[in-house]
Amino acid sequence: MKKHNFSAGPSILERNVIEQSSQAALEINNSGLSLLEISHRSQDFIHIIEEAQKLTKELLNISDDYEVLFLQGGASLQFYMAALNFSKPDGIAGYIDTGTWSKKAITESKKIGTTITLASSVDKKHTYIPKNIASKEKLDYLHFTSNNTIYGTQFHSFEELSQLAQVNKAKLICDMSSDIFSKEINVNKFDLIYAGAQKNLGPAGATLVIVRKDSISENKHLPTYLNYNTHIEKKSMFNTPPVFSIYVAMLTLRWLKESGGITSIERKNKEKATLLYDEIDRNTLFFGIVNKEDRSNMNVTFNLKNKNGKHQFEKMCKEGGINGIHGHRSIGGYRASIYNALDIESVRFLIQIMKQLEKTIQ
C-alpha cells in the first residue's frame, strides 16, 4: 500500500518520477546501459544535466548573470563554502538565527571570520521569524534560512532582508533547502541561494547552488572543490557529479513545469497548508506550535493539548498509512511536511483522522 508520506526529508517524490527513474536505472535511452553505469561525460548525461539547469532557470526566471550548479556535500557543506567564498579578510558576516540550520551555518562561518547574529528567535524557542532587523556593522554578506524545517517557520517576504542587504551593500545569501521551488521568488535579489535536493527537488545527493557570477571574486588560494569559480568554469562537471540524483531532479523539474510551473504549485501549496492549519485551529484537541503569521507552508508543526489522545492518534495514523508525522527529535510533537509532491488528498486524509480522534475522545 502506498503511504501518505509527510516525511521532512528525504521526502515524497512524484510517483511518475520514481517510475521513470526506476526505468532509467535499468536502461537509459534504449542504450542497453543503465544510467548508473554510463560516463558522466557521455552525451546521454550531458543532456540530462543541461536540461536540469535549463529547467531551474526557466522555472525560477533566472537570468544569465547566474550559474546553476549541482554539487555534493549537501546544504551542510554550503554553510562553510558560502562563508569561505563570500567573506573578506577582516570583514564581518551577519546571520539571522531562526533555529538549528541557521545555527549550524553560523558555526561554520565563525571558523572563517567575524560573525554576528543580527537577530534571533531563540528567546521563544524559534517559534517566530525575527522582524525589524538592523545592522550597525558594515557586512560582507547577510545570511538567512528561508524556511525552518524543524520548527515550521518561514519568511513570507524577503523584502526587509533584501533592503537591509542593499542599504548595507552586503551580499545576500539564503539557505532555501526546504522551500525552494515551492513559491515565486525573485532570484535577482540574491547573490547566492543553496538547497539540498532532498525535499522539493529530488533524492539526497545533489545540492542546488544558484550563484551570481559577478559576486564571486577571484581567489586562487581556496581549496579547489570549495571554490565556486571551479564549478562555474566547469559547469558542475569539475568532478563526477551525483548522476542519479541529478536525473531524478531533472524529472521532478519537468513534472513541475508540466503541471503548471511555480505559480500553480504555490497556489496548491497554500491550499494544502490552509486546510491543515484551519483544522489545527478548529480542532479542540490540537494547537499549532508557531506564531500564526510565520507559519510555514512546507512544514506544519502542531501538538496535542492533552497527552490523552497521543496513543490513539499515533495508532490511527499508523493504521491509515501515514508516514513521517513525528516532530523533529529536538522539539517533539508532530510535523506534517507538505512538500510539492504531496497530494492534497493526503492532507485531507490526515484531517479526517484528526476529526475522527476528536469524536472518539469527546
- Give me the amino acid identity at 262: I
User: Nearer Cβ to ligand PMP, position 14 or 175?
Assistant: 175
User: Nearer Cβ to ligand PMP, position 93 or 357?
Assistant: 93
What whole-number distance in Å separates Cα of residue 117 and Cα of residue 160?
A: 16
Catalytic residue among 101, 140, 179, 272: 101
Min dist. Cβ of residue 196 to ligand PMP (A): 3
Catalytic residue among 140, 171, 191, 199: 199
Min dist. Cβ of residue 140 to ligand PMP (A): 21
Asked whether position 196 contacts ligand PMP by CB under 6 A, the answer is: yes
Residue linked to cell 525535499: 199
In the residue annotation, 101 being an active-site residue is answered as: yes
Catalytic residue among 97, 140, 171, 175: 175
Of 343, 360, 185, nearest to 261 by C-alpha is 185
In the residue annotation, 199 being an active-site residue is answered as: yes
Min dist. Cβ of residue 329 to ligand PMP (A): 12
**8 Å CB contact between 336 and 20:** no
Of 273, 301, 297, nearest to 287 by C-alpha is 301
Grid cell of 231 as nine digits = 564549478
User: Nearer Cβ to ligand PMP, position 9 or 288?
Assistant: 9
List binders of ligand PMP among 299-328 (CB under 6 A). Answer: none
Q: Which stretch binds ligand PMP (CB under 6 A): 21-29, 106-114, 172-180, 290-298?
A: 172-180
Contact residue for ligand PMP among 115, 168, 177, 245 (CB under 6 A): 177
Q: Contact letters (x/-) for ligand PMP, 51-90, by CB under 6 A?
A: -----------------------xxx--------------
The helix or strand, by DSSP H or E, that contains position 24, with its residue range, turns out to be helix 15-26
Q: Sheet containing 141-145: which strands, arranged edge to edge? A: 66-71, 207-212, 192-196, 171-175, 141-145, 92-97, 114-120
Contact residue for ligand PMP among 56, 145, 153, 252 (CB under 6 A): 145
**8 Å CB contact between 244 and 38:** no
Task: Decide: helix, strand or coil at residue 141.
Answer: strand
b/e string for 110-124 if b means 16 or more Cβ within 10 A? Answer: eebbebeebbbbeee
Min dist. Cβ of residue 98 to ligand PMP (A): 9
Residue 303, beta-bridge partner list: 287
Asked whether position 276 contacts ligand PMP by CB under 6 A, the answer is: no
Q: Is 237 exposed, middle or buried (0-12, 13-18, 19+ CB in 10 A)?
A: middle
In the residue annotation, 175 being an active-site residue is answered as: yes
Contact residue for ligand PMP among 4, 9, 185, 327 (CB under 6 A): 9
Of 232, 212, 208, 237, nearest to 222 by C-alpha is 232
Asked whether position 346 contacts ligand PMP by CB under 6 A, the answer is: no
Grid cell of 119 as nine digits = 537577530
Min dist. Cβ of residue 69 to ligand PMP (A): 14
Peptide bond into 130 cis (omega under 30): no
Min dist. Cβ of residue 267 to ligand PMP (A): 23
**8 Å CB contact between 154 and 296:** yes
List binders of ligand PMP among 95-134 (CB under 6 A). Answer: 101
Q: Which stretch binds ligand PMP (CB under 6 A): 173-181, 241-249, 250-258, 318-326?
A: 173-181
Asked whether position 154 contacts ligand PMP by CB under 6 A, the answer is: no
Grid cell of 351 as nine digits = 484531517
Min dist. Cβ of residue 111 to ligand PMP (A): 16
Give the binding-site size for ligand PMP (rule: CB under 6 A).
Answer: 11
| Residues marked as catalytic | 101, 175, 199
Could you list the residues that contact ligand PMP (CB under 6 A)?
9, 74-76, 101, 145, 149, 175, 177-178, 196
